[in-house]
Amino acid sequence: MPTWKRLLIAWLFVPMHRFLFRLSGGRVLGRLEGTGVLILVTKGRKSGEPRSSPLLYFRFEESDDLIVVASNYGRDRHPAWYLNIAADPNVSVETSGERFAAGAHIVQGQKRTALYDKVVAANPRFATYRASTRRQIPVVALRRA
């Protein structure tokens, strides 16, 4: 994705998305590309301030966990929200009409690979992200506390 598009998303769409999502209780922009959207609230690893990120999430039948992927649009560095949960896995999750505390678990090994493949099957854009970077894109399971 070109840099100008990433900047447009970061500076314009993300704040607007967060505002409209919260204003409507998730009825507006609660789904994108046929996939659910949540707002993940982490504690900033440097500032200690709450940081909120709208993210696509996936739920697969074998678990109640919400799965998010730290793709960062296929860039070669992890998104800030991922670095924040690596420092403190205690998060809050906002979905359509619901807010709850959760624990973030970074999925490893074969389970991570299997989950990433399921994400790609649900949304092929994540295959493009995987092909665009040299880093292994983390998969995170969010479990209600």
pLDDT band for 4, please (50, 70, 90 cuts). low
Task: Report the chain's terminal Cα–Cα distance, integer Å.
Answer: 35
pLDDT at 30 exceeding the cut of 70: no
Amino acid identity at 54: P
In this structure, how many other beta carbons lie within 10 angstroms of the beta carbon of residue 106? 14
Assign domain 3-144 to its CATH architecture.
Roll (2.30)
Specify the pTM. Answer: 0.84
pLDDT at 24 exceeding the cut of 80: no
3-state secondary structure of 62: coil
- For the chain, give every domain's residue range: 3-144
Give the containing element (helix H, strand E) for 85. helix 80-87
pLDDT band for 89, please (50, 70, 90 cuts). very high
Provide φ and ψ at 141, rounded to 5°: -100, 130
